[in-house]
Amino acid sequence: MNDLLFPFVLYSQDDPDYTNMPSISPYRNDMPSKAFWEIEIKGTKRKGINKDMQAQLYTDQDPYYNSMPGESPFRTEMPNKNYWINYQRMADMTKEQGKRKEIVHEFRIGVQILMNLGGRENPEFMAQQNIYEMPKDLADGSGLAYVLDDELEKLKPEVKRRDRFVPHKQEVEIIDCKPCENEIVESNIVLGEARSDLGHSNYCEQSHIDRLFKKKELFQPLSEYVFEQARRKSNQYEKIGKAIFMNRAAVKMANIDALFNLTNTPEFGIPSFTDVSQNELFYFADICAGPGGFTDYLYWRLGDRARGFGMTLKGDHDWAPNSRFLTNVSTFVKSYGEDGTGNIFKVDNLAFFKDQISNATKGKMLSLVTADGGIAVDGQENDQEMLLKRLVMCQFFCALAILRKGGNFVCKVFDVFTDFSASLLYIVAQCFEKFCIVKPYTSRPANSERYVVFLKLNRDPSDVINVLAKANETFQEFERTRGNTFDIMSLFPIEKIPSYFGQYLKKSNEELVRSQTDGVDEFLCYAYDLNMEPLDQDGIAFRCLKEWRVPRNKLEDTEMKMAKSKQEALYRQQQHQQQPQQQYQQQHQQHSQQQQQQQQYMDSMQKPAVQEPIYVGKEEIDKELDKEEEPDEDKMFTPLGSIIMEHMKRMTPYKGDIIRPLFTHHSKIPQESSTYFSFT
């Protein structure tokens, strides 16, 4: 530990500002104990430390410092502003230095470093909580403050861990979408005064929202280290991680695919919502999804059948190099639109992307569109829905333009409390056969992230596309107009949204809010007790990945592929061996059917008793015929019989000819009979 400290001059005892700052270590976020300072004083024979100040600022309850030797890596002077400068430099450096990160951020009894608790905008609150800022000339750059240990205890909410069985099988509620009974036109767009807060929600109980938002504010005082540790332990699905893929987003897509079978994978054992057979090329697009987690999964799952297109912002959020993808993605087309930025807000870029896809698919367009756009909203988590409304809308806009009939669309959204979000989801959903909102298990429980899944495009989306294009143009105009105070409130009259859809949104919101609140409570439970162990995250990960047919590592992936190849080879061999037997059985069955049909025919051909031949002459025949009525030949004979009768008429019988009738009455001639009449 000494080796870490000696290269850095943390503060100078000659700086007069040192007396105004408490002592705090850049390597341990805690206040040195009183015993520590007393040893240092004796060891260095230094005097002049204000013991009254020691009693106020330091605690002797920390056994770590009570047991420290006289020679300490810490100086005895109070740190000055130079200390804080070096603290920031050290913290920035050690975030990427392995074990040093733990040294920097670990804390015990003493002072806890807090991030913007109360904020500098409310100094009275900070004074009440015994919170202090660092020097004013550094406060804006670091945002750090500290609070005494006993005061920190008062801020902790009473929460406890939930010991429960964590499921791996997920159930979702999918609703049928009905055609809109009202016109979807640009004039439906409603403008209003822009708000800085969420306002009242028509799609969730307001008290539930307020309770959740209030709990989320408790995240702000936590240091980065504490936050990361608590998030890792409180998420029972955390050990799933990224599995074999490039990032966690890929496993989210695997989770969603297992619920809806969007890739028509037989192993899932559920009906697929796609109309693409397992022998066809599968065309999809991945938008606002750099570095490409969704694409990584889809290419792995679909193999050589995959044909992907992607558009994302060029730069920091760009696509990962091909080497980072699990499989060969040489057929993946990366697009950045007409201007080369990948900005989805620009209509020209969307039109360019659509033309690329249309040309590549010969006008067939896509079977699946996925979207995973988002931006950092640190400290503004409660406003995430409003901050990202345009981004979500433009992803919907793009998807409707490039999907083919029967195609599916998956998009990440956040809270769905506002009228804008409700109206957007409704006008898009009514273009599809089915709709669902799902928070996959791979999405961390305390955040507001969820995914909307639109299944089987079955209506012309042109009117919806026009409304979204107009709304995007309006947003653009708002950005160009400085001092604008207006915003888009909704895209469709809220009172005309069918009750079935509004009730589904409300039910989904309230279930997710309750789940989030429980997630926040559990998060805080681990944040305030870092020694508490999580549940069996390894076992949970094993069950989930098995359910989603995803290997845990690359070795298991190879084994699964080999097993699948052997299974397919065995199946082909069995098919080859069974083919002659199947052909024989089929031929035998056909022969039996033919024999059965022939026997049925013969049974219908029951012959009458044969009469003795009658030898008559022409005159006798003419006399007998004159006595009988002229028969109706059309009724007596079938078409075949009529032909034979016509032939008989053309014959000139002579005296002594013998006519041997095979049928004594026309009713005994079978319809469509192939029996021959014989003349001798």
3-state secondary structure string across 240-270:
HCCCCCCCHHHHHHHHHHHHHCCCCCHHHCC
178 is catalytic: no
| Residue 567 near residue 260 (C-beta atoms within 8 A) | no
Query: Which whole number is the average pLDDT over 329-352?
Result: 95
Query: Which whole number is the average pLDDT over 232-247?
Result: 93
pLDDT in tens, 349-381: 999 999 999 999 999 999 999 999 998 887 788
Q: Would strands 432-438 and 175-176 be described as parallel, antiparallel, or unpaired?
A: antiparallel
Average pLDDT, the chain: 74
In whole angstroms, how far apart are CA 562 and each of 209, 238, 265, 555? 50, 28, 17, 11
Angle at alpha carbon of residue 267, lines to 367 and 567, rounded to 5°: 120
In whole angstroms, how far apart are CA 671 and each of 128, 610, 632, 668? 108, 21, 16, 9
For residue 31, the model assigns a pLDDT of 40
Out of 372, 415, 419, 521, pick the active-site residue: 372
For residue 35, the model assigns a pLDDT of 43
Topology at the third CATH level for domain 175-552: Rossmann fold (3.40.50)
For residue 643, the model assigns a pLDDT of 56
CA neighbours closer than 13 Å in the CB half-sphere of residue 498: 16
Structure tokens at 376: 């950092």
Out of 239, 412, 439, 506, pick the active-site residue: 412
Out of 215, 216, 239, 252, pick the active-site residue: 252
The listed range with the strongest mean pLDDT (92-96, 107-111, 595-599) is 595-599
Q: How far apart are the first and last CA of the chain?
A: 126
Angle at alpha carbon of residue 88, lines to 12 and 127, rounded to 5°: 85
Quick one: how many helices (H) and strands (E) in the chain?
24, 13
For residue 224, the model assigns a pLDDT of 80
DSSP string, 604-666: H-PPPPPPPP-B--HHHHHHHHHHSPPP-HHHH--HHHHHHHHHHHHS---TT-B---S-SSG
pLDDT band at 306 (very low <50, low <70, confident <90, very high): very high
E strands, 127-277, in order = 131-133, 144-148, 175-176, 190-193
Structure tokens at 438: 């799902």
**How far, in Å, CA of 409 to CA of 211, rounded?**
32
Residue with token string 């007396």: 19
Query: Which whole number is the average pLDDT over 111-135?
Result: 42
For residue 673, the model assigns a pLDDT of 42
Query: Which whole number is the average pLDDT over 554-559?
Result: 81
Structure tokens at 295: 């694409």
Domain residue limits, the chain: 2-155, 175-552, 554-604, 618-668
Which residues, at least 6 apart from 252, have a Cβ–Cβ distance to it below 8 Å?
Answer: 293, 440, 442, 443, 451
Identify the CA nearest to 222 among candidates 91, 90, 105, 120: 105
Containing 581, the helix (H) or strand (E) segment is helix 554-604
627 is catalytic: no
The listed range with the strongest mean pLDDT (54-58, 103-107, 454-458, 587-591) is 454-458
372 is catalytic: yes
E strands, 312-469, in order = 333-335, 366-371, 403-413, 432-438, 450-457
pLDDT in tens, 649-658: 555 444 444 4
pTM above 0.85, yes or no: no
For residue 587, the model assigns a pLDDT of 75
For residue 632, the model assigns a pLDDT of 54
Judge whether residue 172 has pLDDT over 70. Answer: yes
